[in-house]
Amino acid sequence: MVTISSNLLYTAFILYLIATVFFAGSIKDKNRTKKGPNRWAAIGLWISIIGFAAQLGYFITRWIAAGHAPVSNLFEFTTFFGMSLVGAFIVIYLIYKTPILGVFTLPVAVLMIAYASMFPREVSPLIPALQSDWLHIHVTTAAVGQAILAVSFAAGLIYLVKSVDQTKQSKQRFWLEAIMFGLVCTLGFIIISSSFSAAGYKAEFNWIDKNGQEAVLEYHMPALTGPNEGQLTTEGKFEPLAEMPAIINAKKLNTVIWSLASGIILYLALRLILRKRIGAALQPLAKNINLDLVDEIGYRSVLIGFPVFTLGALIFAMIWAQIAWTRFWGWDPKEVWALITFLFYAAYLHLRLSKGWHGEKSAWLAVIGFIIIMFNLVAVNLVIAGLHSYAG
């Protein structure tokens, strides 16, 4: 069952990639005779739907195998997020029929699923706090809400790619490229960690933690930054270039450095091939799209996603917290970041409705909103420890 499940996920992953190509092709297609999406886009849509169905199959089979909804650790949650993003894309696409949305949304979903697979993938049993029906009610609703909000990020990105002037130096041009670089770094992280894991790299260290205790740490990438008073115990592996004090998590820092480095190399390679900024290279894809329509897609996604997010990430969360943790609100970092997300999109809506922040300003806000969501997903689980740290 678990094998079938993983194969279905793999299938979905490949199909999303293929669908992206078709959506991109539909924009490049010069034989546009009639108005509306062409054949390429129609094929792209069907492939996305089949991919989504495959991933739904992964979800259901894994649920059956584990006996609980597969949203209980970082791998499962992030994968589900990716699936919801594709689902949200399909729904929004059916309303607005804009192939370019696929070109931007599907790769984000693909990155997300690939990123998810860097975490432990085994089916894990539920600790007592998670043994509740609210696990799938709360987590899935929250993830779907975030995914719909993420569509507004894709729309914002399209808006910016089209509207930001690539010929003049400007803050906008710089930050748009910075976002592209961020996405490339995620790809870098995925490539570098899957390469080392395919090569089976393992190096053990004895080290002294911040409480002065001896401990063992296993690296899966060559250690550039070694742990405090670390002694490499696996023979023939790379000796650290620098030793970190105990307060800094040397292993995570090491991963960050590797990801950044591979991101930079990848980015430079792309620049060499494209001979222009990534933003500029993507610009032709957006040339036929109407800015107002993209703006509206972004706004609409926030309007649809915000209530779902509030329901899942705050209201259902509070109900469950009252049952499991005796209080509905406890200022746990994950809770606080859900509140921050809520406040941020509330500000987005107010700025838009009353201050007339449409178009480019709105697009930038959508991008920042997505960064906040990603921060809550990645950093709050991995860096800031709290009650929600089920990352393992």
| Positions 96 through 115 that interact with another protein (CB under 8 A) | 96
Among 282, 272, 222, 219, CA closest to 249: 219
Q: How far is the CB of 388 from another protein (least distance, A)?
A: 12
Among 12, 41, 47, 66, binds another protein (CB under 8 A): 66
Cβ proximity to another protein, 206 vs 389, nearer residue:
389
| Positions 126 through 165 that interact with another protein (CB under 8 A) | 127-129, 131-132, 134
What does the alpha-carbon distance between residue 214 and residue 339 come to, in Å, rounded to a whole number?
Answer: 38
Among 16, 77, 93, 299, binds another protein (CB under 8 A): 299
Q: How far is the CB of 321 from another protein (least distance, A)?
A: 11
182 binds another protein (CB under 8 A): no
215 binds another protein (CB under 8 A): no
* Alpha-carbon separation of residue 104 from 17, 64, 86, 282, 331 (angstroms): 11, 33, 11, 10, 35
Determine phi and psi for 243, rounding to 5 degrees.
-105, 135
Cβ-in-10-Å burial (0-12, 13-18, 19+) of 2 comes to: middle
Residue 170's contacts (CB-CB under 8 Å, 6 or more residues apart) are: 164
273 binds another protein (CB under 8 A): no
What does the alpha-carbon distance between residue 77 and residue 134 come to, in Å, rounded to a whole number?
Answer: 15
Cβ proximity to another protein, 56 vs 347, nearer residue:
347
Q: One symbol per residue from 70 to 99: x for binding another protein (CB under 8 A), - otherwise; what is it?
A: --------------------------x---
Among 266, 293, 382, 391, binds another protein (CB under 8 A): 293
17 binds another protein (CB under 8 A): no
What does the alpha-carbon distance between residue 145 and residue 143 come to, in Å, rounded to a whole number?
Answer: 5
Among 319, 373, 288, 315, CA closest to 112: 373
State the pairing for strand pair 242-243/225-226: parallel
284 binds another protein (CB under 8 A): no
339 binds another protein (CB under 8 A): yes
216 binds another protein (CB under 8 A): no
Which segments of 229-277 are extended strands (E)?
231-232, 242-243
63 binds another protein (CB under 8 A): no
Among 124, 206, 249, 283, binds another protein (CB under 8 A): 124
Among 18, 49, 65, 265, binds another protein (CB under 8 A): 65
| Positions 225 through 264 that interact with another protein (CB under 8 A) | 247
Among 57, 296, 360, 382, binds another protein (CB under 8 A): 296
Bridge partners of 351, per DSSP, are: none
CA 102 to chain centroid, in Å, comes to 16
Question: What is the gyration radius of the CA atoms in the chain, in angstroms?
Answer: 22
Among 18, 282, 9, CA closest to 162: 282
322 binds another protein (CB under 8 A): yes
Among 42, 264, 384, 391, binds another protein (CB under 8 A): 384
Residue 345's contacts (CB-CB under 8 Å, 6 or more residues apart) are: 149, 302, 305, 306, 309, 369
209 binds another protein (CB under 8 A): no
Q: Are 76 and 49 in contact (CB under 8 A)?
A: no
Stretch that binds another protein, among 43-51, 86-94, 178-186, 293-301 (CB under 8 A): 293-301
Cβ proximity to another protein, 111 vs 123, nearer residue:
123
Q: How far is the CB of 272 from another protein (least distance, A)?
A: 32
What does the alpha-carbon distance between residue 310 and residue 23 come to, in Å, rounded to a whole number?
Answer: 32
Q: Are 78 and 45 in contact (CB under 8 A)?
A: no
Among 181, 207, 306, 370, binds another protein (CB under 8 A): 306
Q: Are 369 and 341 in contact (CB under 8 A)?
A: yes
List contacts with another protein (CB under 8 A): 1-2, 65-67, 96, 120, 122-125, 127-129, 131-132, 134, 210, 247, 290-293, 296, 299-300, 303-304, 306-307, 310-311, 315, 318, 322-324, 326-328, 330-333, 336-337, 339-340, 343-344, 346-347, 350-351, 353-355, 380, 384-386, 392
